[in-house]
Structure 1
């Protein structure tokens, strides 16, 4: 121990670093900008910033992700009056390379400080805008920059800043998986967006500016019986993926519309706030009946969610439980008009009517599907070895295929009529 004291006396700064404290040449401040994943990324991009760490600050509970979520749920239910932590980042910077004012200029520009307990689709007191200071000098600079930015917001017609500016009283480092999250997950969710208002006198920041606040959709212009609304956010990789993989090919009978507004269409009601994007909400008569939150490429899971709301219980049993309708009881047995049989959930074409024939089995039968419309799977249920037919677009069970069909294929695609929708050719 005496050797360590001697070493510390000679090289105090190095010992301080080894003990976990910030070197004397750096300064740190704690900032709340909503979801700390995006905040960490934005602040780390600023030249002169040495390190950015995600954490929880200035609450009255232990500092963990689960504790914060649990308390927020209790607060919303009126079951607790405790103060929750804010999701924050601790920004350590080199004053020789950048100033506290520049750090705070990036803070003000990188989120919307007028939203109260919310940032974009992230809603709750844990997402409040905040500056937690470690000295009176920092407090003074924080208040000064707030007043400067408020004048800029006023000139742009924006609202009052709601950012909490207070001394740092409690800080907990977030779990390891939250640290450098968007570095480890480049396509991860980041709901952060600025106001588009530049901090006066500051250097232009490299991130894209968010547009002016988006107005909610007009509920009167949407389908009153059933309407899907896709709530998106700027710079949302999963929103772009959902659009490319699902929306760009949309033929479903359910009408769909996209929006960047985090609120329900005017006159309509969301059951609870949104917390991630994309969120797909199904409305009926202006009220939310179900939602699908997030998208990671699992199309079958999305279509199954939607299918449970579009299909009847009898259809669901066939589609999702490999059920079979009784022969002679299904739909479309006698359908002979020119047209297309489509998936009842996605609307994707499956069979043309000119490939349909009377097999005498009591189920609609076809000798050829449309290219790429189905997938085939081995089925050994009920003590038999058969080949199952599923819809390629939604993955639902359609029926089975047998080798006793007519020319030219010799195949009989024996399909449950109740999971087919017929679309006649135009004018037929």
Structure 2
């Protein structure tokens, strides 16, 4: 343990997911789940019971927030970097809610141990608020205050997702990057000399535009990681000019590159600023605009459709089932079979199309299947399938898109 350490207490919804997110920061020495800044006993049962009393209007005492105490080595990571991870890892505009968790105990909070920490917290909040506003989000509701009370949570809450690798997380950030040097390049004034994109060459209904600059290493990285493999159903175009096509509208001026802007009917609906290799976060940002709420629940919250209700159960045409966000091929129709389960089933994925992960949720031990290109949840794989693999990839049809071979032959 270093001779000098520092710590800050952060509330970002369920502490299980928060613990994992913050522990991933280089220089963080320990992350402990706990309860903070309430007026009651500091136990899990007390917090849950008190929240019910608040909802019923039977008490006015303040409940604790579920928090994590992050201890770090200031020689390796400063508080600003810790807080950048905090802001990006949850939605700080939701008040007393994160994901499916609703209640004052799930409030967003930064509880500080000094005036200096308070100043850094307020500064980073204001910087991130600017980025959120530019992306169309509302006001930050995070409570920033001195730490008054702190209780360590029960042992079974500590390192929960280490003990349960596929347990509930509940965290979902906004997809908005904190605007710092090293993740984006300032938009140069000279870029305005580049020709603007022509609207007639774009898709008025839905179009992505990547605003770049000549000397932008992060633009090149985004091109290599994402654009060079683009199969998404959304049309994409690149430009060195910071202005949209004539007749189209940005919400506000661009301040960094790359900035990826989603336009619908010629108007900006969302933007993703900066890129430094976080492909899953980019695809999740885009996915929230392409998928329905029911699809989002499956893709991002490990949900499932009711058997017999999903898409493609009776699909038998020659073709390919693809990721609905990236367009990457997942399964061929000649590996599909009737399993009688009520979900589309396949005995083999395409090479490199999926990744597998141990899932111990719902009192079972299963193997989860995700799309390798976007990271979205697809379903599970079991060992009761037909030859030649003996596998049954049980997939939610609502997060598959089917592309018939006839479309390819027709050049569609």
Give TM class, smaller chain.
0.5 to 0.7
**SS state of the match for residue 369, structure 1?**
coil
**Contact conserved, 1:214 with 1:260, CA < 8 A, in 2?**
yes
Residue pairs, 1:14-413, within 5 angstroms: 189-192=185-188, 213-413=193-393
In structure 1, distance between residues paired with 2:199 and 2:363 = 53
Query: How far off its partner does 1:191 sit?
Result: 4.1
Name the SS for the 1:305 alignment partner. Answer: helix
State the match for 2:74 in structure 1: none
Consecutive unaligned residues of structure 1, counting only runs of 5 or more, are 1-64, 78-177, 195-209
Cα displacement (A) at 1:189: 2.5
Give the structure with higher Rg (CA). 1
> How far apart, CA to CA, are the structure 2 residues paired with 1:366 and 1:351?
7
Q: Using the alignment, how far apart are the partners of 2:303 and 2:349 within structure 1?
A: 21
Q: For residue 55 of structure 2, what is the aligned residue in structure 1? A: none
DSSP-derived class of the 1:422 partner:
strand
In 2, the alpha carbon distance for the partners of 1:355 and 1:304 equals: 28
Deviation, structure 1 residue 215: 2.2
TM-score (norm 2): 0.55
Q: Does structure 1 conserve the Cα–Cα contact (< 8 Å) formed by 2:317 and 2:404?
A: yes
Give unpaired runs (5+ residues) of structure 2: 1-121, 135-179
CA deviations over 1:12-55 (Å, ceiling 9, x no partner)? xxxxxxxxxxxxxxxxxxxxxxxxxxxxxxxxxxxxxxxxxxxx
Find the partner of 1:424 among 397, 404, 411.
404
Q: Deviations for 1:266-309, whole angstroms, at most 9, x for unmatched residues?
A: 11000011111000000000000000000010000000000000
In 2 relative to 1, CA 228–188 (structure 1 residues): closer, same or farther, beyond 3 Å?
A: closer
How many Å separate the matches in 2 of 1:359 and 1:188? 48
**Is the Cα contact below 8 Å between 1:193 and 1:234 reproduced in 2?**
no
Which residue does the alignment assign to 2:13? Answer: none
Give how far 1:218 is off. 1.3
Determine the structure 2 residue equivalent to 1:415: 395
1:408-428 CA deviation, whole Å, 9 max, x = no partner?
100000000000000011359
Q: Whole-Å Cα distance in 1 between the matches of residues 400 and 211 of structure 2?
A: 30
Distance 1:223 1:349, change over 3 A: same
Contact 2:359 2:366 in 1 (8 A): yes
Tell me how far 1:193 sits from its aligned partner: 6.6
Q: Distance in 2 between matches of 1:281 and 1:190?
A: 16
Instruction: Specify the SS of the correspondent of 1:362.
Output: coil
Aligned length: 238
* Residues 185 and 258 in structure 2, CA contact (< 8 A), matched pair in contact too: no
CA–CA separation in structure 2 for the residues paired with 1:330 and 1:188: 40
SS in 2 for 1:308: helix
- Kept in 2, the 8 Å contact 1:191–1:236? The answer is no
Aligned-pair CA distance for 1:234? 1.0
Change (3 A) 1:264 1:191: closer
Note the C-alpha offset of 1:387.
0.2
In structure 1, distance between residues paired with 2:189 and 2:289:
33
In structure 2, how many angstroms separate the alpha carbons of the residues matched to 1:240 and 1:317?
Answer: 32
Residue 102 (structure 2) aligns with: none
Q: Provide the rounded CA distance (Å) in 2 between the counterparts of 1:193 and 1:234.
A: 12
